[in-house]
Each structure stands twice: as C-alpha cells, then as structure tokens.
Chain A
Amino acid sequence: MKPISIFLFILLSFFSPAAAKVRVVTTLADLADFTRQIGGDRVQVDFIVRGDQNPHFVEVKPSYMLKLKSAEIFFMIGMDLEMWAPQIIDGSRNTKLLVVDLSKNIRKLEIPGRVDASAGDVHRFGNPHYWLDPHNVRPILEEMIAALSKASPADAPVFRANAEAYLKKLDEKIVAWEKQMQPFADRRIITFHKSWPYFANWLRLVVADQVEPKPGIPPSPSHSAELIALVRKSSIKAIIVEPFYDASAAEQIARAANAKVIRLATSVGGVPQSGKDYITLMDYNIATLAATLR
C-alpha cells in the first residue's frame, strides 16, 4: 500500500461515523453503570452526582453545563429528584441534547394526594428512589436502549444484546438477594429519609417510620423520643442512614433503644464498599442489612 493510501485510510477511519461513540451524561452513577453495561465500548459515559452526594441537592456548577454541552443524551431519574437538572440543561446551550426521563414506565409509589409546604420536601409525582428495587432496572434499561438506538441505529442490536445479557445476570442476583433476605420478611426497620420504599417493598420489609419527621425536615427532639419508644416497643434492630446525612440523631435513638445504625448506599460509590457498579452496591446493601437483622 502506498503511503498516500495509508494516510487516507487512517484519515477516513478517524472520521468514520461507526467509530464515533455516543456521548452520554447521567445524573446518578448508577445510571452511568447501566449505560456502560448496555453500550460497552460504543458509548462514552459521564455522570454528575457522586454516590456520596445527596441527589436532591446538587449545586448547579458551570462545569456540569460543560459536560452536557458536548453530550448527545442525558439520562435522568425524573419525578423531580433532580430539581437542579433544568438549570444545567439550559446552561449547556445544547439544543440537540436528548433528555430522557427514565421514570416513564415505572410503577410509582407514594404519589401524594395534595402537595404543600406543610408536608416537607414531598415529590409531587411520587417517591423517586425507584432504582433501589432491581426489578425496576428492566424498564430503565428499555428507555436507555431506545435512546441509544436512536443516537446510533447501527448499534441497536449490540445495545439490545448487551442489555439482555446484563438483565440475565441481574435476574440471577435478584433470586440470590431475595433468598438472602427471605428470613427477614415483614421485619420492621427505621430509615432516615424516605429513600427506601421501593427497596423495602421488594424485600417485604416494613418501614415503621423515618428519623426525619417530614422529608427534608431535620429530626426534632420530640420526634426522636417517639422513635425511641417505637424502636423499643417493636424491637426494631436497624436504622438505615444514607451516607450523606448526619447520623447523630439516629445514633442517639439507636443507643437509647438498643438498635444499630447502618449506612446503606443509595447509589454506586456511596460508601467505599458499595463499589463502582449497581450489583456490587446491592450486594453490599443486602449483606449489611441481613447481618444487622440476623
């Protein structure tokens, strides 16, 4: 091959559409993991909220706008979890950005009858923490496949095959997790925030109350006293606190009522042991909770 032909081949390969990766940004690290599982080397993924950050409250930084400026797809949980997202989307000035709300086909829990400030930080479309029930991963992935296939139609079969392989692996894990938690069905737990209704519903756990008297409202002494009485009366063993909340009120309740505070991660990377992927996150959460309830 002549040098000029080699040069042209390299040049054409460089600009070939097939080599271009779909650029995706997600709000949560969990969604970035799902995108990687589906897209493999056909996607370039970045995310905004670290696992140890509260996804409700994220500072709108210009650097996030810059991430979206060069992205083709933006995956978000929706249901008003990411109240900060519209500002980042607007600030990116990216008119071609495909914004995908992944909650479209989720069976939603805790949809409030009425919404006003007296109820605290309620989400008007229902509780948005649906990714913590692994059965909801399939509808999430279906939305992702559709969006990725739209961005790169030639890769659609690859996205579908990757997703099915991942879901098969996940289904096996779901069976194992359910078996691990089966002895604790109908057990009562306390959570700090209303992050766990989907998780508890899936594992047939009963969330007896929250350390926050209302979503987003810090614990008060009178509510803590009520919780101490409840924990003692119901012999509750576990108080779940997300990594980004102050555990001091929960620790106080646990000490007074002989319970244990455990840090479970709501997102990938929330605690060091929760790893860099969703399956490791759930492995950690299930193992930690089971060890406490035993």
Chain B
Amino acid sequence: MPHAQERFLGEEGLNDLGLSASILLPTGGIYTKLTVDLLRGAAIGEAAGMADTTGAQPRYANSGRLTSFFTLTEHSDLEVGLSGYTGIHDPYQRQRFYYGNVDFKYKYRPSAYYSLVVQGEYLFNSRTAQQDRDFNPFLNAMGNPASRTIHSSGLYLYADYQFKKIYSLGGRYDWSQTPYSADDRARALAVFLGYYPVEETLGLRLHYQHTKSTSPGSAESVNLMALQVLFSLGPHKAHPF
C-alpha cells in the first residue's frame, strides 16, 4: 500500500462503517458519480492510535467523492476523482481533521495480453491537535492544552505494464508526511515483477522497495524485498476498471 494511504488512512486503508448514498449526475456522455457517506468516524483516530475508550459522544465522519470516467479511445480510459473527508481524530479534545484528495487512473488495454495502468493520488491533510498529544501538553493562557494546526500531505504515482498475458512489470514512487507532522517524511521507490500463471486466481509478485524516512534529528533507510502470493477461490468475478 502506498505510504500516503497507510499513514493517513491506516494500514488497511479507510475502513469504517456507515451509510453511503450515490447518484449519477446528468453529465451527458461522461459517467459522473457523486457519493456521500456518513461514517461511524472512529477509523482515522484508531489508525493514529487514538482509540476512543470513553465512548461518551459519537464522532461521526463525513466523506464525499466525485468521480468522472472518460473513454479516450476504444482501448483507453481515464478516471479522475475528487474526494473530501472530515471527522474527529481526537475523541477527548474533539479535534477535527480535513482531508482533500485528487486522484486519477489511466488504463490502456489493446488486448487481453497487453495493458498499461498509470495511476496517482495526492492527499492533503489539515487538522488541529494538541501541542504534544502524548506527553505533558503545553498549556495556554487559560490553562487548557494548547492547540496547533497541522498541514501535511502525501502522494504516489504508480505504473504497471502487462507485457505478456502472465507477466507484468511495474513501479511506484511514494512521498508522504504524517498526519501529525510535516517534518516526518518518507520517500520510497518500489519495483515489482508479477507472474500470473492462472489468470487472476493465482499470482506471484516479487516486490522490492527502498524507503528513506526522515524526521528532525534522524534518518533511516529500509530495503524491503517481498514475494507476495495472491490467490482467490470461487467463481470468476467481474473485472473492475
């Protein structure tokens, strides 16, 4: 998963319960969908280690997404999206976060044996938080914990080229700050080779990633090599764009 998604949405991405409603907008030959969600609102806080143990007050979150799908040629399509998400990240101080997001996905697929997918996403975060949320909060003139406003962001760019029916080669560039600090940064470059002997029901992916993380006073590099085995059981599902 890209660093930006992992850091801002949690290790498994945005995973929350709630209600969702969507509508297709009358935009002629362009497929445009607007989705709005009312969510339980605990996911972002929990992803940042701010689990609500009081359960005293609900902290609903709201999100919205506008996507448009463009058929560029017979074999290529482009989807662009704009999303917003707001909720309470700190259940004790009732402090709020705002996420804004733009993303795109381009797919060129001239046949079942060749395809190119390029996608990217930029996420912007704005939130209020206590000066130091873990230890000895600073107090303001009124004797209350002082707040600060944090602006941070993250992005990734991904490409995957299927050059034979069962092989693909791809790469991803990541850059991300963290929800609570613009000074904690990570930059990563990943390459991967995929082998899919039985269509999408079985896949092997060799993945190498170099990540460099920096924060005030420290820096570290991590090299990760992984062999992923992907498999699914059951009847063929439809292939989403």
Contacts and interface: CB of A to CB of B under 8 A. Distances in A.
A56 interface: yes
Contacts of B198: 217-218
Interface string A230-253: 000000000000001010000000
A121 interface: yes
Interface in A57-110: 57-63, 65-66, 69, 83-84, 86-87, 93
Given A54-B112, A66-B29, A246 B165 contact: yes
A53 B234 CA distance: 23
B241 A57 contact: no
Contact of A93 (B24, B111, B240): B24
Nearest to B26: A69
A58 B239 contact: yes
A153 interface: no
A4 interface: no
Interface in A208-267: 216-218, 244, 246
Contacts of A50: 74
Does more than half of chain A's interface fall in helix, strand or loop, or is it mixed? Answer: loop
A113 to B, nearest CB: 17
A117 B233 contact: yes
Given A59-B240, A62-B241, A83 B235 contact: yes
Given A61-B69, A62-B79, A244-B112, A83 B197 contact: no
B198 to A, nearest CB: 7
Interface size class of A (residues with CB under 8 A): 20 to 34
B31 A84 contact: no
A249 to B, nearest CB: 11
Interface in A122-178: none
Contacts of A63: 31, 69, 71, 77
B151 interface: no
Contact of B31 (A65, A87, A117): A65
A72 B140 CA distance: 66
Interface in B151-169: 165-166
A49 to B, nearest CB: 12
Contact of B238 (A53, A62, A87, A218): A87
A121 B109 contact: no
Interface in A176-195: none
Nearest to B32: A62
Contacts of B234: 117
B212 interface: no
A246 to B, nearest CB: 6
Interface in B10-49: 24, 29-31, 33
Given A218-B198, A244-B112, A60 B239 contact: yes
B221 to A, nearest CB: 38
Nearest to B237: A83
A4 B59 CA distance: 63
Contacts of A117: 233-234
Nearest to B71: A63
Contacts of A52: 111
A66 B240 contact: no
Contacts of A218: 166, 197-199
Contact of B241 (A59, A66, A69, A93): A59
A282 to B, nearest CB: 24
Interface in B111-139: 111-113
A244 B111 contact: yes
A3 B152 CA distance: 66
A83 B236 contact: yes
Nearest to A59: B239
A57 B238 CA distance: 7
Given A60-B239, A83-B235, 5 more contacts: A52-B111, A56-B236, A59-B241, A62-B69, A62-B241
Interface of A: 50, 52-54, 56-63, 65-66, 69, 83-84, 86-87, 93, 117, 121, 216-218, 244, 246
12 contacts: A50-B74, A57-B236, A59-B240, A60-B238, A60-B240, A62-B31, A65-B24, A83-B235, A84-B238, A218-B197, A218-B198, A246-B165
